[in-house]
Chain A
């Protein structure tokens, strides 16, 4: 591929819809190539497939011919796997499989929302702190440091204890844990970009603060943000399960994987199959998300994007 810098192409002969159409690509079109790289490895394919399965289950399980997850039938309490109940029934006679599926849906929903909240708040404050520097940066970062100083689970429990229990409050708790992580990562990335010449160039062109922050700093931090998102995804699933296990997350009668695990403990001797389903569901989801995080990290490492 030889490029001769001396060659001159007459502007008039260039077609109107040319490289420029593709050149100033939309955000989505720029994501195509990395996405493709993500699934190029075996681990990537497996992780993507796994996540897809979970998402499909979470969104579409109602279409399956399963008993309703809240249908109580005391006559079939704690039965083992059978034709009508593929994974058996719980202590209220409800179908375990459909409860697991419902629980997956709720888990994904709670995780997605808390990731989004943490991302938006964390990233914007991170960029803002990095760009502002001085006491603004110091105050914001000390506040985040205080939150980061506590072990995540303890912090989540503390928040849940303060604001209450249930899915909505769990979202807040997870967001509180996640926001400082995003902020710190983004701030660090921005701090290493700020001294670079292209930022100076943008200032000399007349670029405003907002422009530099969102048109230059943010896109160049996409790599670390993507990795953190994947990591926090796995993390939030686990934490939500933990909160529910402790009775602080999703409240009954809504099904939650962690909650089911907690209940299953009592029946470990008499109905061991009860614990298997929810446990595996959690474990596999976390594994899938971790594998995804690895793949994201791999592709960002190579290009540094």
Chain B
């Protein structure tokens, strides 16, 4: 079956002041399962500017984590297939790099922070050594210097009693501290892009606030771009520059985060926001819940994947919509945005 045409390049959806650092176009990920071929990511395209924070929001099964892992080349399920038109970091096409070359990028240009700090950290090495390891992998520094720098980083990142903590092991720290350690380790070599997969989902809300502030501060200090995955759209709206909404493996809406939060363009985003009680809203009463559930990933419909659950479904939705403009810099893939316009052209 022919893939729907790529969306046109999105100069309007990216922040004009920033130079593009990460440019992904037409990325698809699929892998075989006993129940059929699962299309985890379908034709995803997005850009991240230098020093920009892009949030990717979606529920489980939306493909957001798989997308991130594909960019970071961390997918290793058997039989997984990653295809993309373009995956460029700083002008360099990443798909052309060998595994060794790509490996050298890690830490220095591109770093990943995971949701579960416990399993991402080595339980048998002290945290000072782990952070130092990243440093020594990318620069020729002595072990002593690396450990000293690690302590300095921990201090800066708000870990109390850093010198002593540097000698502790991961399991001796609380969740919030472990996450800070992971972040310290990730930025030790000052990468230009940080990929974060739900880094605060498992943390308490007060701790989450601290980590968010930390990452924003790091972006400001290092001009580091961040791609932050979350299921929490209001959270992303408070600090991300732009946000992309994913559903059933596709990116269905992109725009400035505050704008997407205030005036969402895609019915799914609308439904998502209506499902969340806002802190200062009137209490009691039912929430507007979206009916139905996600389509099965082995069996996505050919048209718009949200059509079955959409209150505004039309006949034309049997065809996958391309991105349409909601406002300057804000696009969504929905035929509704065509209202009033000639639907004859495609």
Contacts and interface: CB of A to CB of B under 8 A. Distances in A.
A pairs with B? yes
Interface of A: 1-6
A5 B293 contact: yes
B73 to A, nearest CB: 29
B295 interface: yes
Sorted nearest first, the 4 A-B pairs with minimum C-beta distance are: A6-B291, A4-B292, A1-B296, A5-B293
A174 B299 CA distance: 53
Interface string B259-293: 00000000000000000000000000000000111
Contacts of A4: 291-293
Contacts of B293: 2-5
Contacts of B296: 1-2
Given A2-B296, A6-B291, 9 more contacts: A1-B296, A2-B292, A2-B293, A2-B295, A4-B291, A4-B293, A5-B292, A5-B293, A6-B292
B301 to A, nearest CB: 10
A1 B296 CA distance: 7
10 contacts: A1-B296, A1-B299, A2-B292, A2-B295, A2-B296, A4-B292, A4-B293, A5-B292, A6-B291, A6-B292
Interface of B: 291-293, 295-296, 299, 308
B62 to A, nearest CB: 17
A54 B293 CA distance: 53
Nearest to A6: B291
Nearest to A302: B34
A123 B256 CA distance: 61
A6 B295 CA distance: 15
B25 to A, nearest CB: 31
Secondary structure call for the B interface: loop
Contacts of B292: 2, 4-6
A102 B292 CA distance: 64
Contacts of A1: 296, 299
A5 B290 CA distance: 11
A217 B187 CA distance: 47
Contacts of B295: 2
B294 to A, nearest CB: 10
Contacts of A2: 292-293, 295-296, 308
A280 to B, nearest CB: 39
B75 to A, nearest CB: 22
Contacts of A6: 291-292
A63 to B, nearest CB: 44
A140 B292 CA distance: 52
A3 B308 CA distance: 12
Contacts of A3: 293
A49 B295 CA distance: 43
A2 B299 CA distance: 10
A5 B308 CA distance: 14
Nearest to B34: A302
A77 B299 CA distance: 73
Contacts of B291: 4, 6
A3 B296 CA distance: 10
A301 to B, nearest CB: 14
Nearest to A4: B292
A6 B290 CA distance: 10
A36 to B, nearest CB: 15
Contacts of B299: 1
Contacts of B308: 2
Nearest to A3: B293
A1 B308 CA distance: 13
A6 B292 CA distance: 6
A244 B293 CA distance: 64
A300 to B, nearest CB: 17
A182 B296 CA distance: 41
B1 to A, nearest CB: 20
A2 B307 CA distance: 14
A33 B49 CA distance: 54
B224 to A, nearest CB: 41
A95 to B, nearest CB: 52
A296 to B, nearest CB: 20
Nearest to A5: B293
A50 B296 CA distance: 42
Contacts of A5: 292-293
A5 B299 CA distance: 18
A268 to B, nearest CB: 52
A157 B189 CA distance: 66
A7 to B, nearest CB: 9
A2 B308 CA distance: 11
B130 to A, nearest CB: 30
A8 B54 CA distance: 41
Nearest to B289: A6
A209 B296 CA distance: 40
A151 to B, nearest CB: 35
A3 B292 CA distance: 7
B81 to A, nearest CB: 23
Nearest to B299: A1
A40 to B, nearest CB: 13
A2 B292 CA distance: 9
A5 B293 CA distance: 8
A41 to B, nearest CB: 15
A161 to B, nearest CB: 48
A58 B188 CA distance: 71
